[in-house]
Amino acid sequence: MKYIEPASLSEALEILSADDEARCLAGGATLVAMLNADLVEPSTLIGLRRIDELAGITVSGDHIRVGAMTTHTQIAADDRLSGNAAVVRDAAGQIAHPAVRNMGTIGGAVCHADPNADFPGALVAADAVLEAVGSSGARQIPAGEFFLDYLETSLEEDEILSAVLVPVEPADARGRHLKFSRTHGDYATISVSLVLVVDGDACSYARVAVGSAGPAPIHLDEADSLLTGSALTPEVIRQAGRKLMEAADPVDDVRGSAEYRRMIIPGLLQRAVDEALP
């Protein structure tokens, strides 16, 4: 196996397009473990750490651009990720443990597409867009269309995820990523990612995604509509939670049965709303 560290994104794309068995290495939090377990055997590892255009967080117009090589720790510590983007910052701070957050990157985590991970649901709740670059140019993919199945995304084989674009609006939103897990730092048994805008007693905007509830985050316009335009009473929240529970398709595993996971959703949604509100 060869290891190459290109100095630019164009150089990385050239290497990737020339080798069908090459894999990109971001922070290595997941891929290195898979290599050690012989779960993947790439012919070439393309290390992305020297590519400056993939790093950092910038605010530009109507969105916040988070470079794919930005670490979880950097995201969790950046207070520019507020309002609508606060849910992404909240999720970053709950990933595993400090050593993993210092190593892992948002690009690596997103491309791994583990439905039990923290970022997928948070990005769907924030209505984020994934920016991919390949041999045919750049394109933008809504987070709700990026995660297709377990460990499967809509990224093409010759594409590299370059950034995550999180809308600034609604700037007065409150976000919360809340997960129920067996132990601190574990993957979620169920997670709820939530963005709310409350005007007086009524909710004027809501977007909710549920993680660990199927092969991709669950998002329902119907659940958002139930929360929007009225006071966030326990009954309204229960109704939205039931809709999400009915749409969930989780698996039975060591973290809980499918039935148990579904049952958690309404109560976790209530907690997320309570914690998001002032």
Domain ranges of the chain: 56-167, 177-276
pLDDT at 226: 98
User: For residue 124, what are its two tokens?
Assistant: 């769907």
The answer to whether the CB of 89 falls within 8 A of the CB of 158 is no
Segment 170-195, tens digit of pLDDT: 999 999 999 999 999 899 999 999 99
User: Using CA atoms, how far apart are residues 72 and 210, in angstroms rounded to an integer?
Assistant: 20
Superfamily of segment(s) 177-276: CO dehydrogenase flavoprotein, C-terminal domain (3.30.390.50)
The structure's pTM equals 0.96
Neighbours of 232 (CB within 10 A): 21
Could you give the angle at the alpha carbon of 28 between the alpha carbons of 80 and 143, nearest 5°? 50
SS (H, E, C) 209-269: EEECCCCCCECCHHHHHHHCCCCCCHHHHHHHHHHHHHHCCCCCECCECHHHHHHHHHHHH
Model confidence band, residue 38 (pLDDT cutoffs 50, 70, 90): confident
3 state SS of 35: helix
CATH number of 56-167: 3.30.465.10
Domains 56-167 and 177-276 agree in fold: no
Segment 115-163, tens digit of pLDDT: 999 999 999 999 999 999 999 999 999 999 999 999 999 999 999 999 9
